[in-house]
Amino acid sequence: MLSGCAFYKEELVLLFNELKIKATLSEAIWIFIHILSLILGITIGVLVIVWLERKISAGVQQRIGPEYAGPLGIIQSLSDGIKLLLKEDVVPGKGNAWLFSAGPAVAVTPVFITYLVLPFGQHIILSDSRIGVFFWIAISSIVPLGLLMAGYGSNNKYSFLGGLRAAAQAISYEIPLALCVLSISLLSGSLSTIDIVEMQSKYGFLGWNLWRQPIGFVAFFISSLAECERLPFDLPEAEEELVAGYQTEYSGIRFGLFYVGSHLNLLVSSLFVAVLYSGGWSSPIPFLETIQDFSNLTGLEDLLNVLTPVLEVVTTLSKSYFYLFISILTRWTLPRVRMDQLLDLGWKFLLPIALGNLLLTASFRLLELS
């Protein structure tokens, strides 16, 4: 039996050499630390989203919300997660055990992978892929398969109907979403999330794509809400029709994984709205450039090297949580639509608007280049 170091030297190094990948043990450890830090950070972000949703909904409905589990109820989400971990995991006797078990994993794993191409700062990104935005669209299209597997594997007609609704809804709204992203890529001349943010940072607040693509922004925001199955688009789990949709037969941590995936997807969508339309990490007020001009005179260069990444992360998260706040208010403001209204909105309204926006953007780009 090989030890850890021997396995690394004899097997992994040989594999990396065959794949023409150069890596050292320190680089592998740093990659692991970065990935672990990202997973820990987004997990904490999900707990914060759940707490915010409960407190904001309580404020909208004029009640208190979580209060006793920690100060202002901030550890209520953590206690609920621990409760789900300790609850019994039940598998339907006549269901497909393999599909039933694989469904939550297939629904959650692609959302975690999406965070690889999300830039929290100019140099704070795990994978600066040149096709970052379309990598997100491609990976997110796997999630409905997990929901469909969960519904079919439960051997429950309500669960199966919920899975079918989730697949139909995702297909209907992924096309307008992709067309809006393509319009942004045409404006920026790149599919890289880093390049898209840098193109917006040239003119500060006025350079945001929000002002150059207002129609695309509205279509993108509505499509992202539908992708996350948020009210008024939570038809796959409409409790008055389907009991609980594709997650009816689930319990314990598998039940919780669906909600983790939903909130992770909501955070991803808000971060992409901030990156694509609101300048990402670039501040609306370009004060950092002014400070950098005097850094050599005052000896603040080392301090700036530390503060700049922190400010970039805070700016990105502030913009994304602002869109999260709007999404939560939308949930407690608008009524749920019917399934036919949902599909009509996607195919008959958002798709023509997104396609027309793409044609206009392409026409203006051709005029600029000619």
Q: How far apart, in whole angstroms, are the C-alpha atoms of residue 188 and residue 212?
A: 11
Domain ranges of the chain: 1-86, 92-369
Cβ atoms 224, 272 nearer than 8 A: yes
Q: How far apart, in whole angstroms, are the C-alpha atoms of residue 8 and residue 173?
A: 45
Cβ atoms 312, 281 nearer than 8 A: yes
Instruction: Tokens for 133, please give them.
Output: 């935005």
Q: What are phi and psi of 51, to 5 degrees?
A: -65, -45
pLDDT band at residue 101, thresholds of 50, 70 and 90?
Answer: confident
Is the pLDDT at 9 greater than 70? The verdict is no
Which tens digits make up the pLDDT trace of 246-277? 888 888 888 888 888 888 888 899 999 999 99
Task: Find the radius of gyration of the CA atoms of the chain.
Answer: 23
Q: How far apart, in whole angstroms, are the C-alpha atoms of residue 87 and residue 76?
A: 17
Instruction: Tokens for 2, please give them.
Output: 């090989």
* Amino acid sitting at position 2: L
Which tens digits make up the pLDDT trace of 53-90? 888 888 888 888 888 888 888 888 888 888 888 888 88
Is the pLDDT at 100 greater than 80? The verdict is yes
> pTM for the complete prediction?
0.84
Which tens digits make up the pLDDT trace of 220-255? 999 888 888 877 777 777 666 666 778 888 888 888
Mean of all residue pLDDT scores within the chain:
81
Which tens digits make up the pLDDT trace of 181-212? 999 998 888 888 888 888 888 777 888 888 88
Which tens digits make up the pLDDT trace of 150-167? 888 888 888 888 888 888
State mean pLDDT over 318-341. Answer: 87
